[in-house]
Structure 1
């Protein structure tokens, strides 16, 4: 078994002989086996244990067990306590998700502090098969059918070459006790159905079903690698700094799939992405949003932008006497007005449909929407336009164009200068 794991580590280049490994230690059979095996193979280890306080006295039992085990094996141990239920409530996420985020954030912190190269988790073959089937049942793409990968960033899984029976047989052979691994905070109810009901039924059809599934996962892993390269090439063809070129996207062999791979990582679900795809031949203006991002169907682009309110500009307004020495500023973030033509207090607001003004240098009124279109502003950029108003009249499209009715002329005695303050 030691040789098998060593070969697996070398084959997948999980880590190297001089590397220190941080082992995640729950006290269950798989994590205990990992802690016992790696030092025997020749690796320096430290251990990390999370007490989530979700199972009452059992949580403390597990902590006491790992303390004793690490003391016996002379392995440095790091322990953290989490109020998992409070964290889940504050973050508005499930307890399972909160526990996952808490533990992996903490593991990475400990890894850096103790100088470990990688974080080793004790996932094994049965976990990989169950994960693949669970994803298949829930619905997934090609990546969800690859099982558990041997390495993901700083996370490594050295036991993926073993199954659950290999692990328990090894611990029995060396007389090493362990606690029932009830700290797996994934959906155990569904996993138990797969483990106790679905897999035995599948073995009746094919006694080697587990091996077949793992072999299929290997093939899909290769296919996923090719898929990833193809998607990255497609992204280069369709993406611009502002968003997605609609014509280029429609020319792709699997346009909806390419769109999915662009939008899903920023939080859009499959149903939303299908709606975005259906909008490609529609009129500009359709907007799609999630908690953090928006996608807007413009004329030639699907605009992608963070969903944030255009920050209200801060204006500095000063009054000057209009003398021959006064020099009118020419930068776009400054506008000058005849103060006596402004009878009401000034105010800031967003532009809205129907707004009109008289652009500086012109005599007739123009719709703000037409002006912004003439400037070739995207729909997202249009949303960010602020107006400086005097009563109901627009004085200045901030940062763009002043209204001609309030311009300085030969009768001007007092000048009002408005400047956007850069934060």
Structure 2
């Protein structure tokens, strides 16, 4: 009798429930920031099913049937495969190769790297990754806070957009946002002053921070001075990237931030430089205390004199080069002379008197297209024939400008 009862109970008992299974994730990817919905296919799903993705519980898991589960993705820790765990009252399923978090987009480069500041219609190509594939969606491009509305994705690694106009010489930050995340590139390109090289003159005071002069077109435009700008440069020079560095009247050296019109992380130096020019990989400088011409290393702030001669006293110092010849100006006994210096020996050439009205001095010197250019203390810009010293007053009024650089 007891045996018969056991047989009856065994016959009436239900088979043990099997745990859930996982066979597919659709889509098999999602953004690292989470928040999107994927569908899991398998079996054994129910109302109380929970899902973990990469060790984090999904904020919502809804079983639409015993074989389908809608899951809102939690944020991921890193791109790549993420383990999926499905938990039910009957057990669990674990799969590690059904789903991965997509990498956020990246910005590698922009071309061209120079865009004329005032054009407003220049098209730039942005290269990187994550622009199209794996549900990237429509991108939003922001240039220094200005939203671009015409971005066109051409592939997962390339897109194009029209650059809004911006302040001359500023290097803006470009930000890209899509469904895969955010990418940002600082100093992404440069707002150039024009289609040709020209002279940038920095005012000591007044309404203009600087004035750009195009010697070919004989045109100019001013960069208005910000109310917070109070720096006055004694000399300005370019580095190998085309960035401009300045030394102010307090002997501080720093890279010029045109957006804020100030120097970035300036450092104190001991030498007094009224004029510096880049020549190849070196910077050639006039040091006023020693009255010597030499090389200046902006990284170490070290000045090394060339040869032994001292430059004549007093003032009207400027220095320029065409890549081969180095010219400098100086004043003695009320006469401004133009001379050359041999960068190997430090020897000076034969001085050429400059035909300039008495009492007017030069502030700096640069070479462009066969002529030398010098801002003068009467708030004018002059061109100088390097062979004869003949001077021509140009149609621009940059104000009192102690510093000037040839820029592209």
TM-score by length of 2: 0.24
RCO comparison, higher one (Cα < 8 Å, 6+): 1
Structure with greater proportional helix content: 1
